[in-house]
């Protein structure tokens, strides 16, 4: 099953470097900002929509 990990460098709860190291085999999107809430949706909305579209095409 495909996966996409979205992580912000300034996440105050989860270490971004550790998350990237554990996300082997999936796609990763590393944002420079956004915090743990990934509050800056405008920075990754298009990438997320593209990922969902690609995954949806595979399962149809």
Which pair of tokens denotes residue 50?
A: 């593209």
Which pair of tokens denotes residue 51?
A: 């990922």
Q: Is the Cβ–Cβ distance between 27 and 6 less than 8 Å? A: no
pTM above 0.85, yes or no: no
Which pair of tokens denotes residue 1?
A: 């099953």
Phi first, then psi: give them for residue 4, nearest 5 degrees.
-135, 120
Residue pLDDT, tens place only, 9-42:
999 999 999 988 888 888 899 999 999 999 999 9
> What span, in angstroms and rounded, lies between the C-alpha atoms of 10 and 41?
15
Residue pLDDT, tens place only, 35-50:
999 999 999 999 999 9
CB under 8 Å to 43, separation ≥6 — which residues? 31, 33, 34
């Amino acid at each position: 099953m495909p996966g996409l990990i979205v992580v912000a460098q300034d996440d105050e709860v989860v270490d971004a470097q550790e998350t990237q190291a554990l996300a082997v085999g999936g796609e990763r999107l590393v944002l420079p900002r956004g915090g743990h809430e990934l509050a800056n949706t405008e920075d990754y909305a298009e990438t997320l929509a593209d990922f969902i579209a690609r995954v949806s095409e595979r399962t149809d």
